[in-house]
Amino acid sequence: MRKPKTVIEKVWEKHVVHQEEGKPDLLYIDLHLVHEVTSPQAFEGLRMNNRKVRRPERTFATMDHNVPTIHRNVIKDVVSKTQMETLKQNCEEFGVPLADIHHPDQGIVHVIGPELGLTQPGKTIVCGDSHTSTHGAFGALAFGIGTSEVEHVLATQTIWQQKPKTLNVKVNGKLGTGVTAKDLILAIIGKFGVKFGTGYVIEYTGEAIRNLSMEGRMTICNMSIEAGARAGLISPDDTTVEFLRGRRHVPKGDAFDVLAEEWKALATDEGAVYDEQVEIDADEIEPQVTWGTNPGMCIPVSANVPTVADAIDDNDREEIKHALEYMGLEGGESISSVAIEHVFIGSCTNSRFADLQRAAEIVKGHKVSPNVQAIVVPGSHSVKAQAEKEGIDAIFKEAGFEWRDAGCSMCLAMNDDVVPEGERCASTSNRNFEGRQGTGARTHLVSPEMAAAAAIKGHFVDVRTLGVPTLS
Partner 1 sequence: MEPIRKHNGLVYPLNRANVDTDQIIPKQFLKRISRQGFGQYVFYNWRFDSKDKLREDFSLNQPKYEGTSILVAGENFGCGSSREHAPWALQDYGFRVIIAPSYADIFYNNCTKNGILPVKLTEAEVQTLITNAEADQYYLTVDLETKKVFDNQGFEATFDLDNYKREMLLNGWDEIAVTLTHADKISQFEEARN
Interface residue list for partner 1 (CB under 8 A):
17-18, 22-24, 26, 28, 37-38, 40-41, 44, 49, 51, 54, 65-66, 77, 79-80, 82-83, 86, 128-130, 144-149, 151-152, 155-158, 160, 162, 194-195, 198-199, 225, 228, 230, 294, 315, 318-319, 322, 412-414, 421, 431, 433-436, 439-440
Q: How many Å apart are CA 82 and CA 288, to the nearest integer? A: 39
Could you tell me the smallest distance in angstroms from the CB atom of residue 7 to partner 1? 19
Could you tell me the smallest distance in angstroms from the CB atom of residue 41 to partner 1? 5
Give the H/E segment covering residue 396: helix 392-399
| Nearer to partner 1 among residue 444 and residue 459 (C-beta) | 444
Could you tell me the smallest distance in angstroms from the CB atom of residue 97 to partner 1? 19
Number of H helices, E strands in the chain: 15, 19
Could you tell me the smallest distance in angstroms from the CB atom of residue 439 to partner 1? 6
- Phi-psi label, residue 435: left if phi above 0, alpha if psi -120 to 50, beta otherwise: left
Contact 121, 236 (CB under 8 A): yes
| Nearer to partner 1 among residue 293 and residue 369 (C-beta) | 293
| Nearer to partner 1 among residue 178 and residue 228 (C-beta) | 228
Report the chain's terminal Cα–Cα distance, integer Å.
48
Give the H/E segment covering residue 143: strand 141-144
| Nearer to partner 1 among residue 314 and residue 330 (C-beta) | 314
Concatenated DSSP letters for 249-266?
TS--HHHHHHHHHHHHTT
Could you tell me the smallest distance in angstroms from the CB atom of residue 232 to partner 1? 13
Contact 331, 320 (CB under 8 A): yes
Angle at which helices 78-94 and 40-48 cross, to 10°:
50
Could you tell me the smallest distance in angstroms from the CB atom of residue 101 to partner 1? 15
Q: How many Å apart are CA 469 and CA 251, to the nearest integer? A: 40
The single-letter code of the amino acid at 136 is G
| Nearer to partner 1 among residue 347 and residue 369 (C-beta) | 347
| Nearer to partner 1 among residue 439 and residue 470 (C-beta) | 439
